[in-house]
Structure 1
Amino acid sequence: MIVEVDPSSSVPPYEQVRAGIAGRIDDGSLPVGTRLPPVRTLATDLGLAANTVARAYRELEEAGLVETAGRRGTLVAASGDAVRRRAAAATDSAYAAAAAAAYAESVAALGVGDDEAVALVRAAVHARRLAH
């Protein structure tokens, strides 16, 4: 299974799917050019609505992690390499602190509360662990 969804989590399923796939792209287990399962197939496998998986794929595409290639489907984008480089740089504590501050500003601007923002980070960390 490409990702797993925890139905008891407070994190929305689309975010669990998005974070799980993003984590696998970041760690290289989904290399550039990898074809993701079609939306309906993954939705059926996960027991989710197709619109839920489609939203996750849209957000991944907006982030530049995947690209839709017509009949070839949704593929891991070459820009995923740059994402992996940024993730590797996160071991630099100054970079990590700046990234955390930027995240805090972004979620505050969106009106996301502190508890929900932290829950989103926890979900991303959890999804990354599941991918390993």
Structure 2
Amino acid sequence: MIISLSASGGTPAEQVYDQLRGLITTGRLAADERLPPVRRLASDLGIAAGTVAKAYKQLENDGLVVSRTGAGTRVSRSANTVSQAVADAVRALAEVSRREGLSREDAERALRAMW
């Protein structure tokens, strides 16, 4: 799983949440696919387990994942995904925005303005 943290991307919990949400909604994490255990992901990212647990809880509250004791956290069967065309357009927007030096917030503002 590819998750990375940056100093300017919000809190670590927000970044973990945003990136996992993106992987789920674009279908890169499929229904019933297991997420890494909280402690392992925290260790891999060099952050506290509570930070990852907070992101997982928010994903669960959004209905994107289901957590069960002993079975771990899995992508919900009812998680909505976007079409491939939308995922490709968003990926292109992100790439161009980074290349042009735009922050994520500025790219989001531009998208909202065009909406």
* TM-score normalised to structure 2 length: 0.70
Q: Which residue number in structure 1 is paired with residue 25 of structure 2?
A: 26
Mapping 1:1-132, distance limit 5 Å: 1-6=1-6, 8-80=7-79, 83-84=80-81, 87-88=82-83, 119=105
Cα deviation code 1:31-82 (max 9, x no counterpart): 00010011010000000001100000000000000000221100000121xx
What SS does structure 2 have at the residue aligned with 1:5? coil
Q: Distance in 1 between matches of 2:20 and 2:77?
A: 15
Which residue is equivalent to 1:97?
Answer: none
Residue pair 2:9, 2:15 contacting (<8 A) in 1 also: no
Conserved? CA contact 1:2–1:21, under 8 Å: no
Consecutive aligned runs of 4 or more in structure 1 exceeding 3 Å deviation: none
Could you say which structure has the higher helix fraction? Answer: 1
Match of residue 99 from structure 1: none
- Unpaired segments ≥5 residues, structure 2: 87-103, 109-115
2:50 and 2:71 map into 1 onto residues whose CA distance is: 20
Paired letter, 2:55 = A
For 2:2 and 2:38, the matched residues in 1 are separated by 12
Higher relative contact order (CA 8 A, sep 6+): 1
- Partner of residue 98, structure 1: none
Post-superposition offset of 1:2:
3.5
Cα distance in 2 between the residues matched to 1:73 and 1:50: 14
2-side partners of 1:58 and 1:2: how far apart? 19
| RMSD, aligned α-carbons | 2.2
**Deviation of the 1:3 alpha carbon:** 1.4
The 1:26/1:44 distance shift into structure 2, 3 A limit, reads same
Identity %: 43
Equivalent pair of 1:43/1:53 in contact (CA under 8 Å): yes
User: Take 2:63 and 2:9, find their aligned partners in 1: how far apart are those partners?
Assistant: 26
Question: Contact 1:64–1:77 at 8 Å: present in 2 too?
Answer: yes
Match of residue 114 from structure 1:
none
When the two structures are aligned, how many residues end up with a matched partner? 90
